Structure 1
Amino acid sequence: MFRYYLIVILITCSRVSTTKLVLPSVDNTYEQGVLAYSNERWSKCIEYFEESLHLYKLYKSIVNNCRLTCNSPEYKSKIKENIEDLKIYERFFVKRDCLYKCQESGFNDMHINSTIRDSTIFNLEMRRPYEYLHVCYFEMNALPKAASAVFTHLVVNPDNEQMQRNLKYYIEQPEVDANEVVDLQSEDYTVMYKMGIQAYKNNNWGETIASMEEVVSDYILWENMCRADCERQPEQESSSEFVVTVSNNIASLLHCRQQCQDKLAILGYHSGVGFLADVLNYIQISYYRLDRYKEAARTTASYLVLLPNDSDMLQNKMIYSTLVAENAFEERSDIVHYSKRDEYEKELLYLFHQGINAIDSNAI
């Protein structure tokens, strides 16, 4: 199923051509929101900031879909022999052309401006619009939305003491139900994960399996999108040595990709490996409760791909081996791919920093 989160957003625009829909730029819409806030035009403040968030989501979906599509473009190599690094160079040239064509087509189809200033991207990634939006919602007597706006900002900026005080104030208001204060930018996998946990607590094993299976696929898709976002890199320290410059850029890219897993902290996890393993454990237990031992064995084998030395799961495997055939312990291909990629990236980063430390030591 094709699910790279390509989002089709219907937005009413102030200027509509008779031939095509023209969406305003993210930069301009964001600036209009700031201006409306400054002029205390609260309804316009909400309109512009919400629109800027929608437009940016659409922008990112186009860009990252193209990055994922072009990561392994199909092409007939013109390099017949793998001489030196020529095949690698060719792959980058082909990927570059693929990106240009894909993004040009995507932005033209959606009639959206393909350029955004770095400052605007930074503000949107740091969820700055919600600092304005909570005030605008408050002034429009929409306190539940104001509370969620504050919470949404705090997800990325947990140390903002003023916003912490604001959230406390909103939750104390009779109009606000603390259980309904949500992250307005929460991803599908976080929603499904909470549903799965609740189903598990209620001993609803079938519902737990359905929710947690969705979590696995949604999380992997989300992390792939996050990783694609890393291809927009800040300027790196350059060197007259080509290999040094390229190595620095690759290391920066890998660091960024590994940091995607840091965003799981809100759920109490510090790595995608640990998160996926825990989700698989819920699935394994639920299958066991339903006497579906073959599926439980497969889930156990997949868990052990991520955490091969887990003594409890190894004990579970021994139990299942008395109930099912050996071929039931089939590892999921998506989990195998995820685990190997994560392991190899960590090894590469270790190699990079080991080399940097050696260089620094020789320089002393």
Structure 2
Amino acid sequence: MARTAWGLLWLLLGSAGAQYEKYSFRGFPPEDLMPLAAAYGHALEQYEGESWRESARYLEAALRLHRLLRDSEHEDEWARELQLFGHVLERAACLRRCKRSLPAFQVPYPPRQLLRDFQSRLPYQYLHYAQFKANRLEKAVAAAYTFLQRNPKHELTAKYLNYYRGLLDAAEEPLTDLEAQPYEAVFLRAVKLYNSGDFRGSTEDMERALAEYLAVFARCLAGCEGAHEQVDFKDFYPSIADLFAESLQCKVDCETNLTPNVGGYFVEKFVATMYHYLQFAYYKLNDVRQAARSAASYMLFDPADSVMQQNLVYYRFHRARWGLEEEDFQPREEAVLYHNQTAELRELLDFAHMYLQSDDEMELEEPEPPTEPEEPPSDAEFEGEGDYEESIYADWWQEPDAKGDEAEAEPEPELP
């Protein structure tokens, strides 16, 4: 009898031990998987109904599911993860202090689509017509031109611009981009000095344009870390990844949004183009050390450029003549930083699009192209004066008398 009792006790203890073993999410029996809330809720219902066996069975199942949820995480990376989120908590605490003391941080953050509209300069499509109706033609010209600088193929706004300039008889007057970044004018001046043969002046302005662009680019990246709207209930890591992917898209777009438009054409590979000019201008000034470093910097962005490859071969062949060391053939520090930063941002975004977009828990949005509405703004927003297009076109539109063209503001720069 005693042996039987001890055997039963060991059997009970053994089953209790199995109840509290650690489970791996890879090896948990699929037939035992169910939502924890459902298992526990059913157990309590059976408990209230005094179905003791059924209640006990589901209470044990709920405990097992809870341990699966709690104990199956891999723990090898805990120190690194705590360090990472420690930095996140520190930045969050800093921002919270700013919000308490600075009124600008207390204004609600705008929705992401509204920010995209402003990045594509959509408000200027409304503003130029509003200024025209208010009989402020100079401001209408500036607003229309500002919109076209980001949306150069928008034919309707281009027609409006020519019409406004015709009314002012100012077809030859220079146009003003109200959103122009400081580096744009400096870059254009550097190109003009280069084309005129003033290579010293060109290098000075080009170096300044490069530094100013990188500063604006850094501010753009920082601006992508603003508030984000959280609309879905998600697991911890998918939620973090979703917010990070949205920030990544904004940061990748910085390079595109900051590319200047010269004479209706966006300057492709803008940073590389500046190093291209610097390489040749420094060579003309007989500063071969800076020329070689500029060439190496350019090659980061366009390693297949055969002309620049030949230039580097030429510099290396005559290295003894100019006293060049191996370090003189290394890219400049800021070029390496910018290249690595933009390349890694694109790689991470590509990874997010490839591996996170199809996840049922993720709703990673496709990036939207800059807004170029085919239909002009409705007059309902301008004191109800009828249809936006008909209110102007029906009276006067045959062909504007203005001589200028939206692409005549500046010639496309000639590359060396």
TM-score normalised by length of structure 1: 0.66
Amino acid at match of 2:350: Y
Of residues 288-297 and 322-331 in structure 1, the stretch that sits farther from structure 2 once superposed is 322-331
1:207 pairs with 186, 201, 205, which one?
A: 201
Question: How well do the aligned residues superpose, as a CA RMSD in angstroms?
Answer: 3.1
Output the CA distance in 2 between the equivalents of 1:235 and 1:198: 45
Q: Partner letter of residue 352 of structure 2?
A: F
Partner of 1:13: none
The 1:257–1:245 alpha-carbon spacing in structure 2 relative to 1, beyond 3 Å, is same
Q: Could you say if the C-alpha distance between residues 138 and 333 of structure 1 is closer, same or farther in structure 2, counting changes exceeding 3 Å?
A: same
Contact 1:261-1:270 within 8 A present in 2 as well: no
Q: Which residue of 2 aligns with 1:259?
A: 253
Which residue is 1:287 aligned to? 282
Closer, same or farther: CA 113–352 of 1 in aligned 2, 3 Å: closer
Rg bigger for which structure? 2
Q: Which structure 2 residues correspond to residues 80-229 of structure 1 after superposition, within 5 A?
A: 83-102=79-98, 104-105=100-101, 107=102, 114-116=106-108, 118=110, 125=119, 127=121, 130-131=124-125, 133-134=127-128, 137-138=131-132, 142-158=136-152, 162-229=156-223
Question: How far apart in 1 are the matches of 2:109 and 2:349?
Answer: 30
Shift of 1:160: 5.2
Q: 1:122: Cα distance to partner?
A: 6.9
Shift of 1:332: 1.5
Paired residue secondary structure (2:170): coil
- Any conservation in 2 of the 1:237–1:248 contact (CA below 8 Å)? no
Using the alignment, how far apart are the partners of 2:359 and 2:115 within structure 1?
35
- Shift, 1:269, TM fit: 4.4
Q: Counterpart in 2 of 1:35?
A: none
Could you say if the C-alpha distance between residues 218 and 84 of structure 1 is closer, same or farther in structure 2, counting changes exceeding 3 Å? closer
Is the 2:125–2:147 contact (alpha carbons within 8 Å) kept by the matching residues of 1? Answer: yes
Specify every segment of 5 or more residues in structure 1 that has no aligned partner in the other structure, as ranges: 1-80
Q: Percent identity?
A: 27
Against the structure 1 CA distance between its residues 82 and 216, is the aligned structure 2 distance closer, same or farther, given a 3 Å change threshold? Answer: farther
Shift of 1:101: 3.0
CA contact (8 A) 2:137 2:164 kept: yes
1: distance between equivalents of 2:80 and 2:105? 40
2:349 partner amino acid: L
Matches within 5 A, 1:46-65: none
Report Cα offsets for 1:24-74 as digits up to 9, x if no partner. xxxxxxxxxxxxxxxxxxxxxxxxxxxxxxxxxxxxxxxxxxxxxxxxxxx
Q: 2-side partners of 1:333 and 1:104: how far apart?
A: 38
Taking CA–CA contacts closer than 8 Å with sequence separation of 6 or more, which of the two structures ends up with the larger relative contact order? 2
Q: AA paired with 1:202?
A: S
**2:226 paired residue number:** 232
For 2:277 and 2:241, locate their aligned partners in 1 and report how far apart those are by CA, in whole Å. 40
Asked whether the equivalents of residues 99 and 105 of structure 2 are also in contact (C-alpha less than 8 Å), the reply is: no
| TM-superposed deviation, 1:103 | 5.3
**Are 1:337 and 2:329 matched, yes or no?**
no
1:82-107 deviations in Å (ceiling 9; x for gaps): 615111111011011222334555x3
1:270, 1:258 → 2: CA distance?
17
- Cα gap change, 1:180 to 1:142, in 2 (>3 Å): farther
Offset, 1:217:
1.0
> Residue 294 of structure 2 aligns with which residue?
299
The corresponding residue for 2:347 is 347
The whole-number CA distance in structure 1 between the counterparts of 2:162 and 2:343 is 41
* Partner amino acid, structure 1, of 2:184: T
Equivalence map 1:33-52=2 (5 Å): none
Query: Which residue among 222, 243, 247 is the counterpart of 2:237?
Result: 243
| Superposition deviation, residue 238 in structure 1 | 3.3
- Compute the displacement of 1:158 (Å): 4.9
Asked if structure 1 preserves the Cα contact closer than 8 Å seen for 2:293 and 2:332, the reply is: yes
For 1:207 and 1:183, the matched residues in 2 are separated by: 24
Distance 1:178 1:244 in 2: 55
TM-score between the two structures when normalised by the length of structure 2:
0.58
Give the secondary-structure state (helix, strand or coil) at the position aligned to 2:226. coil
Contact kept? 2:261, 2:267, Cα under 8 Å = no
User: What secondary structure sits across from 1:319 in the alignment?
Assistant: helix
Q: Please state how far the C-alpha of 1:172 moved relative to its aligned partner.
A: 2.4
Q: Does 1:275 align with 2:270?
A: yes
Give distance in 2, aligned partners of 1:275 and 1:193.
10
Cα 1:333–1:196 change in 2 (3 A) is same
1:144–1:176 contact (8 Å) kept in structure 2: no
* 3-state SS in 2 of match to 1:320: helix
Q: Name the residue aligned to 1:320.
A: 315
Contact 2:137 2:168 in 1 (8 A): no
Query: Helix, strand or coil: the match of 1:118?
Result: coil
Shift of 1:310: 2.4
Partner letter of residue 250 of structure 1?
A: F
Amino acid at match of 1:290: L
SS for the counterpart of 2:261 is: helix
CA drift at 1:165: 2.4
Q: 2:342 is matched by which residue type in structure 1?
A: D
C-alpha distance in 2, partners of 1:145/1:284?
40
* 1:143 shift after superposition: 3.3
Tell me the amino acid that sits aligned with residue 91 of structure 1. H
